[in-house]
Amino acid sequence: MIRTVEQYMESLNDGREIWCMGEKVKDVRTHPILRTIVMASATDFVVPHLPQFRDLFITKDADGEDVNFMNTPPRTVQDMVRRRECYMTGCRHGGIVLHCMGVDALAASTVAAAKMDANLGTEYSKRVENYRRYLQKNDIGITGAITDVKGDRGLRASKQVQHKDFYTRVVDRNKDGIIVRGAKVHISSTPGANEAIVLPCRAHATEDEKDYALVFATPLNAKGIKLLAVEPNNRTYGEEAHWDYPKSAALGPTECLIVFDDVFVPWERVFMCGEYQYSRDVTYAFATFHRLFGSTRMSAECETLVGAAALMAEYNGLEKYEHIRNKLAWLAMYAETVNAVSRMAAIECQQELGDLMVPNMMYANIAKFTFADNLHQAMKLVQDISGGIPATVPCFKDWQNKDLHPYIEKYLAAKDGIPTENRLKASRLVKDFTGSYWQIANIHGEGSLAQQKMFLYFMADWKRFKAAAKRDAHIEGWEDDPTYGFVFDPREMIEKKMPPIDTSYRL
Ligand SMILES: Cc1cc2nc3c(=O)[nH]c(=O)nc-3n(C[C@H](O)[C@H](O)[C@H](O)COP(=O)(O)OP(=O)(O)OC[C@H]3O[C@@H](n4cnc5c(N)ncnc54)[C@H](O)[C@@H]3O)c2cc1C
């Protein structure tokens, strides 16, 4: 089944306990801020219906019914490349939020279940496959809850001091199922998800940690689950939010702290419970799948980031300058490198136990690392190219004020032919995307980086630098330099005190 937006919206009216900025949320669909992430999540139920993307997102299950391709396990290189194409297409539409963490957690559960069944004679694969069928038949939106709150990072789960619930664990079990306790933090897409797959975030590889070796799926409205949404970047909504915070207002706030306050999970939704030797497998498999997603999401993000720098250069009339072109070239290289290596992670995927394919671990990690490790440099260049305007740009309410508007229109224009509004909107994007007022203010306050370089170039003591080089290269012309002219050359004096060179060597 491929759900419609209406069906998806109806499914969120499920009585979940969710909180935002200290207030209990009556309905995520009507909450002025949480509505944003619900809309982004709903994109996952729009794009597959678009004629141009149907063939990409829709496939058939064993009964010949339409199902979302993201809910199927990748079995060939083509499947993996298609999976990445789905991620990319979804991200470019501002969606795929319900078909990333959750489906990656499902893939990881598949890998670990196969290993446990092969080595221990368990029957987890059957449960995982039943759950997959349920997801396919009902087109359920899932998130992946992996990151535990962890407490003291220097201590293992069972050695924590204040309490034993810093890592999610099983606290009781009976013939029907298990009771789980703990909390997962920073979990994206939660307000708009129907269910979550919960995995350990690290290996709990010793017997005394077996209660933490736990994988299960649960609806987010289950009794005992509390969802605490993060504080949003912006507190406006509607047209104002989209003008002032174009990125944040399209996707956020997405993360929740998920508290499991003794939640019941029936056995058919438990995919690991106590098999501590396999907790490493499930975390590694998740990380590998999810880094393919991460680097794909980042490839799409890079397109916007680099595009924002190019727009600001164009709108400010700067494209012709060499230092600006050099910076734009670096940004383009950065974006294309992340994209290319991420694609390689899909193309060079590897076969796991059974016929499941997993992304290439090396390339998936290189792509994610390259993006994240260079991100601040990229942001710095975007801020540098953009000038100070993203820090001080007027907001929507200023722009709408009829007394202020003509002055803003006139004085904040830049290149002829570019509407002032476009320049302001691009500035708001840079402001929202690249961080804070403080970062931009501190790059541009007291002059841009290029201005300092200009001063540096003109003020640098080139005579001294050249004298140093000439002296080392035995080129005449350093002897009059006020610094190097006084530097004593000890070689002649030392050589006089050494025995003569033995010339019998063949050099
Ligand atoms: C916006 C956002 C969205 C996210 N979405 C999700 C999601 O949907 N699902 C999900 O499960 N998770 C999600 N995460 C969590 C993400 O994977 C974690 O933030 C990340 O793994 C780091 O964990 P932490 O935040 O607890 O930081 P910490 O563990 O506190 O790490 C801080 C630093 O300490 C180091 N460190 C920590 N422990 C050790 C140790 N034992 N030995 C040596 N060094 C150590 C780390 O390497 C790091 O440098 C999200 C995070 C963010 C910020």
Residue-level pLDDT at 249: 87
Q: Which residue has the higher pLDDT, 257 or 492?
A: 257
pTM of the model: 0.89
Residue-level pLDDT at 114: 94
Residues at CB less than 6 angstroms from ligand 1:
101, 144-147, 150, 153, 186-188, 255
> Quick one: which of 297, 119, 121, 115 has its CA closest to 215?
115
- Residue 264 confidence class, pLDDT cut points 50, 70, 90: very high
Q: Is the pLDDT of residue 419 over 80?
A: yes
What is the Å distance from ligand 1's center to 15 Cα?
Answer: 30
What is the Å distance from ligand 1's center to 260 Cα?
Answer: 19
Q: Which residue has the higher pLDDT, 472 or 385?
A: 385
Q: Is the pLDDT of residue 393 over 90?
A: yes
Q: Is the pLDDT of residue 346 over 90?
A: yes
Q: Is the pLDDT of residue 450 over 90?
A: no
Question: 154-158, 341-345, 449-453, 462-466: which has the minimum mean pLDDT?
Answer: 449-453
Non-local (6+) Cβ contacts of 487 within 8 A are 471
Q: How far apart are CA 39 and CA 31, in angstroms?
A: 11
Q: How far apart are CA 72 and CA 137, in angstroms?
A: 11
Ligand 1 pocket test, pick from 103, 153, 254 with the greatest ligand atom count within 8 Å of Cβ, gives: 153
Instruction: Tell me which of 2.40.110.10, 3.90.1150.10, 1.10.10.10, 3.40.50.300 is the CATH number of domain 5-285.
Output: 2.40.110.10
Residue-level pLDDT at 454: 78
Residue-level pLDDT at 441: 73
CATH number of 291-456: 1.20.140.10
- Nearest CA, atom 29, ligand 1: 153
Residue-level pLDDT at 345: 95
Residue-level pLDDT at 440: 73
What distances in angstroms separate CA 285 from CA 64, 302, 353, 356, 453, one per listed residue? 29, 26, 12, 11, 47
Q: Is the pLDDT of residue 319 over 90?
A: yes
Three-state SS for 52?
coil
- Residue 97 confidence class, pLDDT cut points 50, 70, 90: confident
- pLDDT tens digit sequence for 3-35: 999 999 999 999 999 999 999 999 999 999 899
Q: How far apart are CA 301 and CA 181, in angstroms?
A: 36
- Residue 456 confidence class, pLDDT cut points 50, 70, 90: confident
In the chain, % of residues over pLDDT 70: 99
Residue-level pLDDT at 427: 96
What is the Å distance from ligand 1's center to 496 Cα?
Answer: 64
Q: Are 214 and 198 in contact (CB under 8 A)?
A: yes
Intervals of CATH 1.20.140.10 along the chain: 291-456
Non-local (6+) Cβ contacts of 402 within 8 A are none
What is the Å distance from ligand 1's center to 391 Cα?
Answer: 29
**What is the number of the ligand 1 atom nearest to the C-alpha of 255?**
3
Intervals of CATH 2.40.110.10 along the chain: 5-285
Residue-level pLDDT at 220: 98
Residue-level pLDDT at 453: 78
Residue-level pLDDT at 428: 95
Token couple for 120? 């221990």
Q: Is the pLDDT of residue 164 over 90?
A: yes
Q: Is the pLDDT of residue 446 over 90?
A: no
What is the Å distance from ligand 1's center to 126 Cα?
Answer: 32
- pLDDT tens digit sequence for 239-253: 999 999 999 888 877
Residue-level pLDDT at 447: 74
